[in-house]
Amino acid sequence: MSAAPRKPWGGRFAEPTNAFVERFTASVGLDQRLAHHDIMGSIAHARMLARVGVLTDAEAGAIVAGLEGIETDIVEGRFTWQVALEDVHMNIESALVQRIGEVGKKLHTARSRNDQVATDVRLWLRDEIDAIDGQLRETMAALIERAEREAGTLMPGFTHLQTAQPITFGHHLLAWFEMLARDRERFQDCRRRVNVMPLGAAALAGTSFPIDRIYTAQLLGFDRPTENSLDAVSDRDFAIEFVAAAALLMTHFSRMAEELVLWSSVQFGFISLADTWCTGSSIMPQKKNPDVPELLRGKTGRVNGHLVALLTLMKAQPLAYNKDNQEDKEPLFDTVDTVRDSLTAFAGMLPGLIVHAERMRESARAGFATATDLADYLVRHGLPFRDAHEVVGQAVRRGVETGRDLAAFTLDELRSFSPLIGEDVFAVLTLEGSVNARDHLGGTAPRQVRAAAARARARLDNT
């Protein structure tokens, strides 16, 4: 039986770590995904130490070559992770010493695992935010393209899930675009606060070695080093902020998914999802279940839970680093995975969406959707809006009683509610007349939808 690997901090201890404590405190099962960024940070640190004379060029060269070899082993699946070495940092450092000898032990000069892990997580999260930004951009571009195609497709607009006014499907899709545009801005803004370098803060107070933190930050692509060593090792605001932005994105996806679930039901019949994005029932052969949007809706609770977990994790910690912070990784990692999978799912569903335009139009025609247009018509003919509201409400009540839409009334019937109504009223009672009348910036008129889509594309191209 091979001896347990010696822990780099073991000099203080007379007895070996309890096996349960070793397992309970280890994080390598989770944080090994930080390996690439841990090696990035270590290479930059070694080069900085050589620049300031703490390491010789030869020592730094050996360390860099050793780390690059370890990364190749990890990528090609030859690296053995050991729970006894606790985490990604000590696994890689131990492997480095085995590979290049005693000089490998010099790498940890002027740093601590406290600033090392904070740096690794920021490097990793920065890359993930960039990947999420690319996925968001792709999804938003697909929404613009689809909105242009559906700029004239009529559908009911809802408030309280009751028919309110006619809109176009393109206008609705651009509302989704605006939601995602705000999400993208939040992630981009969050990235600025992620992209600050803790390395050099060491355990909590900095180091007595003559380090050059600005040089290290430049090597790693950080905007700047952190200003305060205590804050640098204990701050997890950036992770909380990211998960908060992710929770908002998932809330938006949940709302969109809910509409896809409703619209694809027989009761609505507005759309059909492609077969490749649905599943069936084990007992009911007629079923085509919208499982993907349902899961998008459900995974929102998962990310919301991670946000609460991180806030709770940090709420009572004294400065500076505490072992509690090891618990930041599971919610953060899972949030990133969930967001990226959700973006893949949503972008995948959009191209295969089948729109049942006639069913949408029929539904828009069925709920007195042009009642507000009749009220506006009366206002333009001199009736105060509150009086016009009363008149149209009476007309709608008659429509409910007789089972007819306002457009099906005769002119004489409409004039029985107000003598201000003339033959031109029927132009405003049509669905086309209603949406075309909303011909202003932000309105649902097809002309405005196409113009909004063009502006959206320009915004996307410029960011």
The set of catalytic residues is 160, 281
Rounded CA separation 302/338 (Å): 9
Rounded CA separation 347/351 (Å): 8
Other beta carbons within 10 angstroms of residue 386's beta carbon come to 9
Rounded CA separation 293/353 (Å): 12
Rounded CA separation 44/341 (Å): 32
Q: Which long-range contacts (CB under 8 A, 24 or more apart) does 450-457 make?
A: 450/148, 450/151, 450/170, 452/147, 452/171, 452/174, 453/144, 453/147, 453/148, 453/151, 453/170, 453/174, 456/140, 456/144, 456/147, 456/174, 456/177, 456/181, 457/141, 457/144
| 304 and 247 Cβ atoms separated by less than 8 Å | yes
Measured CA angle at 7 (ends 212, 321), to 5 deg: 50
Other beta carbons within 10 angstroms of residue 143's beta carbon come to 26
Tokens of 119: 């740096």
> What kind and span of H or E run contains 341?
helix 329-349
| 24 and 18 Cβ atoms separated by less than 8 Å | no
Q: How far is CA 316 from the centre of its chain?
A: 27
Pairing status of strand 154-159 against strand 162-168: antiparallel
Q: Give backbone dihedrals phi and psi of 78, rounded to 5 degrees, phi first.
A: -95, -5
| 433 and 446 Cβ atoms separated by less than 8 Å | no
Rounded CA separation 68/87 (Å): 19
Q: Give the DSSP per-residue string, 151-167.
A: TT-EEEEEETTEEEEEE
Q: Please name every residue paired with 162 in a beta bridge, in sequence order, or none if there are none.
A: 159
Instruction: Supply the angle between the helices 57-75 and 35-51 in degrees, to the nearest 10.
Output: 170
| 269 and 358 Cβ atoms separated by less than 8 Å | no
Strands, E assignment, 154-241: 154-159, 162-168, 196-197, 224-225
Pairing status of strand 196-197 against strand 162-168: unpaired
